[in-house]
Structure 1
């Protein structure tokens, strides 16, 4: 299924803005489209003033236009930021952190981790060797085993470090590490309450299964839908089956969405994340399921949810605020005498719900409380 043009251009913007610059050929490989397609997108984005073009190179217009030049930074005053590649959600957190760190006179050393297990450790070691005074980290952690493999070396870091949108398990070696996260369980609560308030009683949830956020959402879906007195039935599936690690799943976990909706008799769905949600809505349309007439849809992430043919109602975690809060916490650690920065902080910020055109009252329901 072909990706919408505007969605692809948003992904190009996110990639270039996170790195400052990128080669056209690299963007084409990452997006799995032709170089000609990327050039055409870049030309349009440059015409709109959203990017700057060079010979085979694309530069961010954001750095030059929206942020003041950073003052000279003394040695030892740099902060390393490590985020996964192709992750527009965390790139918004990165920009939030950037505004705080640059205002404090810190130089940012950005490291993009490729999509392989253990990719963050060598990047962190390089950053520390280059003199980074502190770290902001968002490890990919596709599986719980990936997460546990990182516990030992992360716990042994001898510089201040804060996790963004990552919360180690209680009792683990990283339980006492500073972290700033969105309260994703509250996000699912908002989605379910919105749909129930519109009279929907049967809901399907589709989540990715290759990140800590996805695993948190899956757990929250099961608990909140299972305990809600007005939810009659619910089911869960993978929004991107190829994203899940090898392992046993119940049959419905890889079910095609429209078939699962029919099986459950669902009139609503909550889909994570935005790109998968937009693609699944197209899939529903191909199978004769109209949004919102036949099925109300809530997306989770709100990075590009509003760009669909039918703009999607979405749960919006406070992505930039997570980055800002993490950077502020790191600055507090850097400014305090060693070991005197106060107790470990595990900060949670609440998402919000943005209502758009993909949700409506259940057909035939005149009183949503019925």
Structure 2
């Protein structure tokens, strides 16, 4: 590589890029970036600019000179017939397998190849996964559930907006640009899910309904917002009832924290709890049994997520987010973006959850 050369101006750099493309059939973004000594995102922008001018054709993973594309039939219609799309989820064990299943079903039905990557709740890991899918695999679009909070999450969102492939957020929302324009997204209506749980409990006669959530979960803010708005809607007074944002059940301090929640529940005469998520709700059931607190006779419990709630003793009433439907709708929206030659309006798809009633909820003892 010409390490002695000064940094090229955009026009000069694009001329060099065109010469590189003329020398080979298809050039990958990563290879072009190395040859030009610039970042992959710069190459993607140059390719997008040259494609708009009709000088190159974008293909999976990079670009090809127009004449070579014609000679080999590597046009956009061929790419659209069987595109590869990437999906990045923060967990392969909890919640997300159902989302992936729905995504796979729709991808197969529409003749697309789904490339799965597992991530973590870490914006830096999300960025590495996305870069590999775009620059290495050459996917035509992305479905992702990124970590969007905090400084690193905000930086990730800004970086994603520089990518030249369409992106659909799953169970996340984000905005872009100076005017806060929304990005495409498909989400569960978690606020409605929490409200549905409270409406059931009020119908059963409960007036003191607490909330227990996990601090690190991206779902927590929406569940809490739904709980608070439902308290207003239903005329409930949340003052004094447990409203706890705690660590998850695997934390060393969880047993002590769980006891403090139950102490506050008894002291405030709270008769029902909404608990996010299943694991924490099941742990609470076990501790209630050890302390002689009967469920549902003394305390009704509703879980949020419904991954394993039906396997608890007693089986837990639970809010069931539409996980499979989220995956289906996200891929459907993404493929419409990939295959549409025309600009389209941003879409925010919101899907309602279900409330599955089981044996952990009953009228409070005082009303029986």
TM-score normalised according to structure 2 size: 0.71
> Structure 2 stretches of 5 or more lacking a match?
1-78, 252-256
Question: SS in structure 2 opposite 1:332?
Answer: helix
Structure 1 residue aligned with 2:298:
294
Decide whether aligned partners of structure 1 residues 124 and 259 sit closer, same or farther in structure 2, where only a CA change above 3 A counts: same
Distance (whole Å) between structure 1 residues aligned to residue 177 and residue 269 of structure 2: 41
Q: CA-to-partner distance for each residue in 1:11-50, whole Å, 9 max, x for gaps?
A: xxxxxxxxxxxxxxxxxxxxxxxxxxxxxxxxxxxxxxxx
Distance (whole Å) between structure 2 residues aligned to residue 310 and residue 140 of structure 1: 34
> Structure 1 stretches of 5 or more lacking a match?
1-72, 245-252
Q: CA-to-partner distance for each residue in 1:93-149, whole Å, 9 max, x for gaps?
A: 1110110001112111111113444211011100011210010001145x4444323
Structure 2 residue aligned with 1:11:
none
Distance (whole Å) between structure 2 residues aligned to residue 132 and residue 364 of structure 1: 59
Structure 2 residue aligned with 1:17:
none
Task: State whether residues 151 and 174 of structure 1, in contact with CA within 8 Å, keep that contact through their aligned partners in structure 2.
Answer: no
Question: SS in structure 1 opposite 2:365?
Answer: coil
Structure 2 residue aligned with 1:139:
146
What is the aligned counterpart of 1:320 among 319, 324, 327? 324
Distance (whole Å) between structure 2 residues aligned to residue 150 and residue 87 of structure 1: 24
Decide whether aligned partners of structure 1 residues 299 and 178 sit closer, same or farther in structure 2, where only a CA change above 3 A counts: same
Query: Any runs of at least 4 consecutive aligned residues in structure 1 with deviations exceeding 6 A, and if so which?
Result: 73-76, 170-174
- Which deviates more, 115-124 or 259-268? 115-124
Structure 2 residue aligned with 1:60:
none
Structure 2 residue aligned with 1:32:
none
Structure 2 residue aligned with 1:305:
309
Distance (whole Å) between structure 2 residues aligned to residue 342 and residue 154 of structure 1: 19
Q: How does 1:121-136 map to 2 (within 5 A)?
A: 121-129=127-135, 130-136=137-143
Decide whether aligned partners of structure 1 residues 147 and 172 sit closer, same or farther in structure 2, where only a CA change above 3 A counts: farther
Task: State whether residues 161 and 176 of structure 2, in contact with CA within 8 Å, keep that contact through their aligned partners in structure 1.
Answer: no
- Which deviates more, 163-172 or 194-203? 163-172
Q: How many residues matched? A: 285
Structure 2 residue aligned with 1:342:
344
Structure 2 residue aligned with 1:31:
none
Q: Cα RMSD (Å) of the superposition?
A: 2.7
Structure 1 residue aligned with 2:42:
none
